[in-house]
Structure 1
Amino acid sequence: MPGVPRYFGLKGKNLNLAIAFIAGLDFLLFGYDQGVTGGLLDLPSFTKYFPEINPEDPLIKDLEGVKAQRSTNQGIAVAAYNLGCFLGAVFTIFVGNPLGRKKTIFWGSVIMTIGALLQTCSYHLPQFIVGRIITGWGNGMNTSTVPTWQSETSQAHERGKLVMVEGMLITAGITISYWINYGFAWIGENEVAWRFPLAFQIFFALIIFGTILNLPESPRWLVMQGRETEAIEVLESLNDKPRDDPFIKNEIAAVRATVQEMSQGSYSSLFKMSEYREFHRVVLAYVNQMYQQISGINLITYYAPLLYKDIGLDDNHYPKLLAACNGTEYLMAAFVPIFIIELVGRRKLMLFGAAGMSLSMVALTITNYFLTVKDVTEAGIGQAVFLFVFNTFFGIGWLGMTWLYPAEIVPLRIRAPTNALSTSANWIFNFLVVMITPVAFETIGYKTYIIFAVINAFIFPTVYFFFPETRYRSLEEMDDIFKKTTNIFNVVPISLKEPHRYDKHGQLKPEYIEDVVRKESVSHGVAKESVNDASS
């Protein structure tokens, strides 16, 4: 009997770590793209080529109409990336299932590379914007698919940690971009100060599309395509167990049953309310992604250097240094949920994050009011501190959550289009925030923070009442929980009270092992009876 299959010579835990590395690298690239542009906007070598997006040009200081228009142009240029991400996510709704998880990620990475080359070689604003849209398109494909691929190749007890690692690596990418921007800012007028930071993203994309096709495909997608033998081989490799092990038998039986029951699904199923409550689950996934973006995180991520510059720290590239330090602290905060996500669950982290983010935005409102209206310069220190505090709460409660949660709560047949749709929410609201930020600060000033304080306060009760817990749940268990749900209010108590099939170590509980054995016996008995009938 052949041994357990290997990928790159890896199996079991090491193979899961390899998948997590590539999935995480994609999110590191995603974070890098988010953070890199904000640090380039005030570079003389950058504004020389793109003066249309430089509202701080001293030559237009007294021309308020021109300054407002350039603020709008800046928002458009920066947010063009997010618009591309939205288009890529919508595109994935239609190509995600036909292509499969691996091929979608492969082509997404190729498209990102093309977009990055266009940005790096730009000499005019239209080319720069087109490059950002193309880069975003590829990233939209990837971020719609990677969480699904990661979730469908992970065991229930490891899934939360692995996807939280992806979230942590978003901040790692942001941090890397901030420090690179800070270092290259000292170059001065040389164009490499902005062309190299834009080109560096290609390095990550090359690793992804150079390795992804040689890693395991999602076993659930393989079963859905009728390739069950390949799915069993993948499960053997991922779990380092032979195919006759009860764990593998249970996994393939559960996946097979789900695929069979959901085989009639279609894109229109996104809006149906059968016993699986598809539309209910799609709405939860969509709102979860929307909440992450309208919290205001990208107000800071994209414009951190400019926000620190407004405090009055103009010398020695201090705004970029503070932004880099902020990103580093953000990265440290993002490590926390990796170790506690399975201990405390998804709901508690989301509630903790929403409460802290709301209070942080209240503090930013007050400090920015005293700084900009009352001209109390000391308030700038408070504003700098609470930009750090906000990122801490976001990093712990919401950073990785929206890449994990939607993939956990939707049924298999519509999992890919639902995650693409929910990711499109992430990007369209990301686009909205990034687009309006320069204009909002130009027109309503400190009141911009009030908007986000109220939004985060509203997130808290909606999570408490409507978002079910998925901790220690297999993807098939969530199907059963929603089948028992009768309205939007009782899914939370059901998710908290329903017995778990797996323990905290990911092992199938004894009563479910017995159930698998019993089902196998019945299946063999029926098969044997059929053979006897045929013989007679």
Structure 2
Amino acid sequence: MAPPTFMGLTGRPLSLAVSTVATTGFVLFGYDQGVMSGIITSPVFNDIFAATKDNSTMQGVVTAIYDLGCLFGAIFILTFGDFLGRRRSMMMGGTIMILGVLIQVTSEKSSTPLAQFIVGRTITGVGNGINTSTIPTYQAECSRTSNRGLLICIEGGIIFALVVSIGIIWLPESPRWLLSRGRDAEGETVIAALRGLDVDAKETQLQKQVIMDSINASGYGSKKGTPIKAVFTGGRTQHFRRMLLGVSSQLMQQLYPAEINPIKTRAKANALSTCSNWLFNFRKLSHPLNLSTPESFAVSHPSDNSKVIVMVTPVMISNIKWGTYLFFAIVNACFLPIIYFLYPETARRSLEEVDIIFAKGYQEGISYVKAAKELPFLEDEEIDARAREFGLVGDGGRVGVGEEEVEVEGGKFG
């Protein structure tokens, strides 16, 4: 029996196709900001949108309104992401972005161009907020342990939303989402296709069982989705702590939330992390900006911290000169001890191993960073045994999930 295929692809080629579509979508924020930095003070732009001419406040509003739309998109995924799934959310996000762009480019001087342009930017932001809340989760759930971090980190490239909204049609849904919704046959088909194996292969069935154990241990084994209150629970799965790690990590980078959170709360916790990202972006960008100087063009950089640089760099260079660079060096250095002591390492770990790290830390009363260091790298065959050892999988009893306990029928999940 041949391995299942999507787009005629299986194994590594299929994984690369998933990564390519994910990559094209996530960088669209940087592309938009780069375009705006180049046109916001140009005579042609100011001629059509007269209110932006020599008006740094209005220029800031036009630039920052995009981030406000992104915040709304992230809130949408926080509410409906579990119901829609990863693929449909990405298709929706790409389509909304295309609609927003069309509204922007059809703004005409003879009508009310600035109002239309702002509406278009807000709609484009909604689509991008949906994508940035969904794509890291989709990428993490479809990637192998060995290359997951690299694939999410390279999510950058100059390709358009059309690739995301159309390309995802022929790609598989996240196997973890499918299994969490009770669609077992589809889930194991995707697992087999991503690994280039037969559906009945031992490795396929073992990976399916490992994922099912994780789903049931987190209390997500139903079609109802996750209530927002589940994000604020503790216990062996440490939902609240892991959500806080993901949200705070958005001040430094964008990979961590999709890896650190468990299947039950991954979509909602990642959406909350993205909300914090866009909320801080809007606050940074909505202040009056002087975009008439060359230094201000740093807004084209897509990283989160660049917004702060845009706000303060011209003033700091004028007043403290070389001290500006020393200041930013110290700020970045301050991140190092925080990351080292508070953030467990996830490199080369499967998403299910990360669950075991937090269960080990909770049960043994040690820091989760120490738990990650002490736990050896596990094969699929070892994950089930460790999950039982730390109470994530029961032997015919009950399993602690957050603040609750869940009855287990027959001892073994799946």
Q: 1:267 to 1:72 in 2, by over 3 A?
A: same
Deviations 1:418-457 (CA, angstroms, capped at 9, x unpaired): 1111011111112222223716559955469587556434
Q: Give the corresponding residue for 1:419.
A: 270
Q: Give the corresponding residue for 2:160.
A: 204
| 1:465/1:489 contact within 8 Å kept | no
Structure 2 residue runs of 5 or longer lacking an equivalent are 221-225, 291-310, 388-394, 397-409
| 1:149/1:218 contact within 8 Å kept | yes
Q: 1:240 to 1:443 in 2, by over 3 A?
A: closer
TM norm structure 2: 0.79
What's the % identity of the aligned pairs?
38
Q: Give the corresponding residue for 1:226.
A: 182
1:214 to 170, 176, 186: 170
Deviation at 1:460? Answer: 2.2
Q: Give the corresponding residue for 1:131.
A: 120
Aligned residue pairs: how many?
355
Is 1:79 aligned to residue 40 of structure 2?
Answer: no
**2-structure distance, mates of 1:274, 1:514:** 19
Deviation at 1:13? Answer: 0.3
Query: What one-letter code is carried by the residue in structure 1 that aligns with 2:135?
Result: V
SS in 2 for 1:423: helix
Query: What one-letter code is carried by the residue in structure 2 that aligns with 1:478?
Result: V
Q: Give the corresponding residue for 1:476.
A: 352
Q: 1:263 to 1:86 in 2, by over 3 A?
A: same
| 2:238/2:358 contact within 8 Å kept | yes
**2-structure distance, mates of 1:5, 1:216:** 11
SS in 1 for 2:334: helix
Is 1:466 aligned to residue 342 of structure 2?
Answer: yes
Deviation at 1:49? Answer: 1.5
Q: Give the corresponding residue for 1:5.
A: 4
Is 1:499 aligned to residue 376 of structure 2?
Answer: yes
Q: 1:204 to 1:484 in 2, by over 3 A?
A: same
More helix by share: 1
| 2:2/2:197 contact within 8 Å kept | no
| 1:101/1:217 contact within 8 Å kept | yes
Q: Give the corresponding residue for 2:228.
A: 267
Q: Give the corresponding residue for 1:45.
A: 44
Q: 1:40 to 1:238 in 2, by over 3 A?
A: same
| 2:356/2:386 contact within 8 Å kept | no
SS in 2 for 1:37: helix
Deviation at 1:218? Answer: 0.4
Q: 1:115 to 1:479 in 2, by over 3 A?
A: same
Q: Give the corresponding residue for 2:239.
A: 278
| 2:210/2:384 contact within 8 Å kept | no
2:87 to 102, 110, 113: 102
Matches within 5 A, 1:31-430: 31-55=30-54, 70-123=55-108, 124-166=113-155, 169=156, 172-173=157-158, 204-263=160-219, 265-289=226-250, 291-292=251-252, 398=253, 402=254, 404-430=255-281
SS in 1 for 2:160: helix
Deviation at 1:274? Answer: 2.1
**1-structure distance, mates of 2:238, 2:383:** 25
**1-structure distance, mates of 2:366, 2:81:** 31
Query: What one-letter code is carried by the residue in structure 2 that aligns with 1:15?
Result: L
SS in 2 for 1:137: helix
Deviation at 1:209? Answer: 1.4
**2-structure distance, mates of 1:425, 1:489:** 29
Deviation at 1:3? Answer: 2.0
| 1:466/1:488 contact within 8 Å kept | no
Deviation at 1:53? Answer: 2.0
| 2:93/2:127 contact within 8 Å kept | yes
**1-structure distance, mates of 2:198, 2:135:** 27
Query: What one-letter code is carried by the residue in structure 2 that aligns with 1:8?
Result: M
Query: What one-letter code is carried by the residue in structure 2 that aligns with 1:262?
Result: S
Structure 1 residue runs of 5 or longer lacking an equivalent are 56-69, 174-202, 293-397, 503-507, 517-521, 524-529, 531-536
Deviations 1:112-139 (CA, angstroms, capped at 9, x unpaired): 0111011111232121111111100000
Deviation at 1:459? Answer: 2.0
The structure with more radius of gyration: 1
Q: 1:38 to 1:107 in 2, by over 3 A?
A: same
Q: 1:463 to 1:513 in 2, by over 3 A?
A: closer
Query: What one-letter code is carried by the residue in structure 2 that aligns with 1:266?
Result: P
Deviation at 1:43? Answer: 1.6
Q: 1:41 to 1:7 in 2, by over 3 A?
A: same
| 1:280/1:488 contact within 8 Å kept | no
Q: 1:72 to 1:488 in 2, by over 3 A?
A: farther
| 2:210/2:383 contact within 8 Å kept | no
Q: 1:513 to 1:277 in 2, by over 3 A?
A: closer
**1-structure distance, mates of 2:367, 2:383:** 25
Deviation at 1:501? Answer: 0.8
| 1:466/1:489 contact within 8 Å kept | no
